[in-house]
Amino acid sequence: MFLTRLVRAARPLKRTDDVFRRVENEATIVLGQRKLFQRLVPGAMHALIFWGFLVLFPTILMAGIGAIDRD
């Protein structure tokens, strides 16, 4: 209940400002996994697993579509 009131009380953010900086941050922080490498071994393992899933996702998607639609 408290969280619902808190979310409803928030003001909307203007997310259309400085699009280039937002895209750059998305690329470096999310895709580049920048913050994970503060601890080298766990960060490297997480990054490898993350990139493995990104590489395998199209194959899994195509297999799922192929299972439903054989043409």
Q: What is the pLDDT of residue 43?
A: 83
pTM: 0.46
Q: What is the pLDDT of residue 46?
A: 85
**CA–CA distance, 71 with 13 (Å, rounded to integer):** 45
Taking only Cα atoms into account, the Rg of the chain, rounded to an integer number of angstroms, comes to 19
More confident residue, 61 or 35: 61
Query: Quick one: how far is CA 51 from the chain centroid?
Result: 11
Q: What is the mean pLDDT of residues 50-71?
A: 88
Q: DSSP string covering 19-70, please?
A: HHHHHHHIIIIIIS-GGGGGSHHHHHHHHHHHHHHHHHHHHHHHHHHHHH--
Question: Per-residue pLDDT for 12 more than 80?
Answer: yes
Q: What is the pLDDT of residue 42?
A: 87
Question: Per-residue pLDDT for 31 more than 90?
Answer: no
